[in-house]
Amino acid sequence: MKLDRIVFAMAAAAGTMLPAAANVQIPVTTPSTALVLQVGDNGRLYQQYFGRKLADTSEYELAPRGAEAYITHGMEDYFEPALHINHADNNPSTELRYVSHRSEAQSDGSTLTTVTLTDPEYGSEVDLCYVTYPDVDIIKSYTVIRNGEKKPVELEKYASSMLHFDAPAYYLTQFNGDWINETTCSEAPLSFGKKTLDSKLGTRADMFVSPFFQLSLGEPAREEEGDMLVGTLGWTGNFSFTFEVDNNGKLRVISGINPYASQYTLGKGESFRTPEFIYTLSDGGRGKASRTFHDWARKYQVKKGMDDRYTLLNNWEATYFDFNEDKLIQLIGEAKELGVDMFLLDDGWFANKYPRHSDTQGLGDWDETADKLPNGIGRLTEEAKKQGVKFGLWIEPEMVNPKSELYEQHKDWVITLPNRDEYYFRNQLVLDLANPKVQDYVFGIVDGLMTKYPDIAFFKWDCNSPITNIYSNYEKENQTHLYVDYVRGLYNVLDRIAAKYPDLRMMLCSGGGGRTDYEGLKYFTEFWPSDNTDPVDRLFIQWGFSQLFPAKTQCAHVTTWNKNVSVKFRTDVAMMGKLGFDINLHDMSADDLKYCKNAIKEYNRLKPVILDGDQYRLVSPYSGQHASTMYVGKDRKKAVVFAFDVAPRSVEHLTNVKLRGLDPSAVYDVQEINRADASKGDVKSYSGDYLMTVGLPLFTTSRMSSRIYELTRK
Ligand code: DGJ
């Protein structure tokens, strides 16, 4: 402990303040925003300012001071606290006073600012930690709570972040839904009282609501204008965001692990680190916030965020469980013919005592089903190698079917109530990842497969059940630790995989988009947004996820869902994400196949713009008739515009759509590509100024039609 910290801690403990500490200002700054914390005369820490950076930093002092930065339970505040500790003597209150702060450079170029607070009565400490970046307006904030008492304490509530706002009005956009209906956007004003977005599902935590939100300040959210906070929790488990408007119209936003059934006991000297709440304050509406998140995610957070992605052919919708070696070898050949980078073998390849011929059995027994794959996965990786495509494999390693050898041998590894009938979600149960032996087992599934078949280039890691029947044989008297320890156990496994197989790419899947958070994406290159691949629904689902996640993380596959819609329309929708196919080529017409092959070539050419460029959402599918999104390369030399007519009226009055993000002084050649016959349209030239001021007639009155335009700077 540094000297000034000791001195101050002693003074604080004695109930006095060092004069030097009062009014200490702690700026947490990004390139254009500032969160300024300040120590009050009482030694407590306050949020002095949160907004656009001021040119004259001495003026932060003049701003009306906000509330205490991290409000604790049991003191004078009447609303929702960020922290609630039950002390060993049963005192449920905590008071936090400033001790010290410091800033340290991190190896990835970010800066970590840590503000240490202590409870003078109990000696427990709380670090409020903020990570900022030199080139992107993102703050990550988390808290470390240390038990400085002589006996265990109980954490009742332990938020990652608390932020305060004082605006004339607040509008909250949430993203909720269900399986095959992920990220439905809806906005509502907040008035006095509390609104909570949370999950209690444990594993498939995001099934009903995604762990992110947009909070517009003063007015309803707009796409390219307006002030808003956009935030998300990096936690692959239960989350909670509480928005509470108080009697004075002030709003607090509390983000963290959902404290529901999750009281956590901290032994003497132990500490608890919360997950990161990741946020940006945008003065350019939803669009700017999205681009900020996309830039940050690619550069700092997602696994291989700056690297290319593999296009693929997946067999799930082409075969479901009904395949054998011959069929798969044929599909590997089809992957080659199509021109994708990889073949991905989905569910149904494993288990022998209870072969996985449906979702009712076999989960947990990770040996190849002998009569389906007599020559094992090795025959398939060999064939893939021969064809020059990569090989990927589906696993669901955290789960077990009761009808499996694993369940028969290791029921003690299963999360299940000892004295009640089991309830099954998709005929399965969750393994107890709080248990280190189970962590070893789950790591061993990947490690075993990689050791035996080093040519596996990719895993699709699925997770189809929430935690049900919640009871851990391992946690014993600490049952309320399970939701938290489960996620920590999962990260332990993923850390081991990342350390041993740093180049292994993985897709995060959870019965569709049931797991989509940025801590998870540290270990995964991409995620599966939804089992719903109807292209019209996908316009909405991808629109929702695009609010925080860049195109390269969103897997988008061409399938036979909604066959009434052309292959062109389906492919055009999928080209806005990480393109894949989940379809039998021999079910396609020669023209459709030709179209897809050409589209893959065009996608490969334009990937740097779509996957790594700036995204501008031009027309929302929620507007009813049409949708349009464009991507602009970072050097503004190329752009790709996608336009969809979903349900236009035949007599609709069509107007131009203004493009965005171009260089106004440059001239661009505009050409339609990927036309139905795989041809290209005529080239027309316009200035960037014209395209952004007057726009282009992107839409038609023809239902379910789509167009892609390529823009090339002259
Ligand atoms: C759910 C996934 O979302 C699907 O893509 C597929 O992998 C199935 N599970 C397999 O059981």
pLDDT tens per residue across span 271-289 = 999 999 999 999 999 999 9
Token readout for 118 is 């202590």
| Sign of CA pseudo-dihedral 604, 606, 607, 608 | positive
pLDDT bucket at 21, cuts 50 / 70 / 90: confident
Tell me the C-alpha distance between 168 and 187, whole Å. 17
| pLDDT one-digit tens code per residue, 371-385 | 999 999 999 999 999
DSSP letter assigned to residue 171:
E
CA of residue 233 to ligand 1 center, whole Å: 25
The pairing of strands 390-395 and 456-461 is parallel
β-sheet bridge partners, residue 669: 685, 712
| pLDDT one-digit tens code per residue, 295-347 | 999 999 999 999 999 999 999 999 999 999 999 999 999 999 999 999 999 99
Tell me the C-alpha distance between 116 and 125, whole Å. 7
The whole-number pLDDT of residue 65 equals 86
pLDDT bucket at 66, cuts 50 / 70 / 90: confident
DSSP secondary structure, 87-144, as one string: -TTS------EEEEEEEEE-TTS-EEEEEEEE-TTT--EEEEEEEE-SSS--EEEEEE
CA of residue 472 to ligand 1 center, whole Å: 26
| Atom of ligand 1 minimally distant from the CA of 346 | 7
Q: Is the CB of 316 under 6 A from ligand 1?
A: yes
Measuring CA to CA, which residue among 616, 609, 618 is closest to residue 637? 609
| pLDDT one-digit tens code per residue, 77-122 | 999 999 999 999 999 999 999 999 999 999 999 999 999 999 999 9
21-53: b or e for each residue (b if 16 or more CB lie within 10 Å)? Answer: beebebbbbbeebbbbbbbbeebbbbbbbbbeb
CA of residue 276 to ligand 1 center, whole Å: 29
The CB-based long-range contact list for 70-78 (8 Å cut-off, 24+ gap) reads 70/45, 70/96, 70/117, 70/126, 70/128, 70/143, 70/159, 70/162, 71/162, 71/252, 72/96, 73/156, 73/157, 78/246
Token readout for 654 is 């069509």
At residue 532, does pLDDT exceed 60?
yes
Percent of all residues in the chain with a pLDDT value above 90, rounded to a whole number: 95
Measuring CA to CA, which residue among 204, 102, 99, 196 is closest to residue 146? 99
CA of residue 594 to ligand 1 center, whole Å: 28
| pLDDT one-digit tens code per residue, 667-678 | 999 999 999 998
How far, in whole angstroms, is CA 695 from its chain's centroid?
Answer: 33
Average pLDDT of the residues in 159-180: 98
Token readout for 440 is 């070893």
| Atom of ligand 1 minimally distant from the CA of 530 | 3
Q: Is the CB of 341 under 6 A from ligand 1?
A: no
The whole-number pLDDT of residue 2 equals 34
Tell me the C-alpha distance between 631 and 252, whole Å. 35
Average pLDDT of the residues in 623-636: 97
Tell me the C-alpha distance between 553 and 545, whole Å. 10
Average pLDDT of the residues in 406-425: 97
Average pLDDT of the residues in 357-369: 98
Average pLDDT of the residues in 401-407: 98
Q: Is the CB of 199 under 6 A from ligand 1?
A: no
Q: Is the CB of 464 under 6 A from ligand 1?
A: yes
Question: For residue 312, what are the contacts with CB-CB under 8 A and spacing of at least 6?
Answer: 335, 340, 341, 342, 343, 344, 392, 458, 580, 581
3-class SS of residue 166: coil
The whole-number pLDDT of residue 586 equals 85
Tell me the C-alpha distance between 274 and 645, whole Å. 45
The whole-number pLDDT of residue 252 equals 98
- Per the CB < 8 A criterion, the answer to whether 550 and 298 are in contact is yes
| pLDDT one-digit tens code per residue, 562-592 | 988 999 999 999 999 999 999 999 889 999 9
Question: Ligand 1 atom 3: the closest Cα is on which residue?
Answer: 511
CA of residue 512 to ligand 1 center, whole Å: 7
Amino acid, single-letter form, for residue 579:
L
| Atom of ligand 1 minimally distant from the CA of 460 | 7
Tell me the C-alpha distance between 613 and 618, whole Å. 15
The whole-number pLDDT of residue 20 equals 56
At residue 47, does pLDDT exceed 90?
yes
- Per the CB < 8 A criterion, the answer to whether 533 and 561 are in contact is yes
Q: Is the CB of 348 under 6 A from ligand 1?
A: no
| Atom of ligand 1 minimally distant from the CA of 528 | 3
β-sheet bridge partners, residue 112: 104, 131
| pLDDT one-digit tens code per residue, 438-496 | 999 999 999 999 999 999 999 999 999 999 999 999 999 999 999 999 999 999 999 99
Amino acid, single-letter form, for residue 252:
R
What mean pLDDT value characterizes the chain?
Answer: 96
| Sign of CA pseudo-dihedral 47, 53, 54, 58 | positive
CA of residue 511 to ligand 1 center, whole Å: 5
pLDDT-wise least confident of 49-53, 62-66, 186-190: 62-66
| pLDDT one-digit tens code per residue, 489-523 | 999 999 999 999 999 999 999 999 999 999 999 99
Dihedral of the alpha carbons of 326, 332, 333, 336, in degrees to the nearest 10: 180
SS (H, E, C) 268-330: CCCEEECCEEEEEEECEHHHHHHHHHHHHHHHHHCCCCCCCCCCEEECHHHHCCCCCHHHHHH
Give the other-Cβ count within 10 Å of 196's Cβ: 12
DSSP secondary structure, 230-253, as one string: EEEEE-SS-EEEEEEE-TTS-EEE
Tell me the C-alpha distance between 308 and 608, whole Å. 8
At residue 1, does pLDDT exceed 80?
no
Q: Is the CB of 347 under 6 A from ligand 1?
A: yes
Token readout for 586 is 């021999």
At residue 22, does pLDDT exceed 90?
no
Q: What angle do CA 478, 482, 487 make, to 5 degrees?
A: 145
At residue 68, does pLDDT exceed 70?
yes
Helices (H) and strands (E) in the chain, counts: 12, 36
CA of residue 180 to ligand 1 center, whole Å: 11
577 burial via Cβ count (<10 Å: 0-12, 13-18, 19+):
buried
CA of residue 418 to ligand 1 center, whole Å: 29
Q: What angle do CA 528, 534, 540 make, to 5 degrees?
A: 70
Question: Ligand 1 atom 1: the closest Cα is on which residue?
Answer: 511
Tell me the C-alpha distance between 324 and 372, whole Å. 5
- The residue count for the chain: 714
DSSP letter assigned to residue 53:
P
SS (H, E, C) 545-611: HCCCCCHHHEEEEECCCCCCCCHHHHHHHHCCCEEEECCCHHHCCHHHHHHHHHHHHHHHHHHHHHH
Tell me the C-alpha distance between 696 and 655, whole Å. 8
| pLDDT one-digit tens code per residue, 192-224 | 999 999 999 999 999 999 999 999 999 999 999
Q: What angle do CA 513, 580, 452 make, to 5 degrees?
A: 85
Token readout for 327 is 């069929």
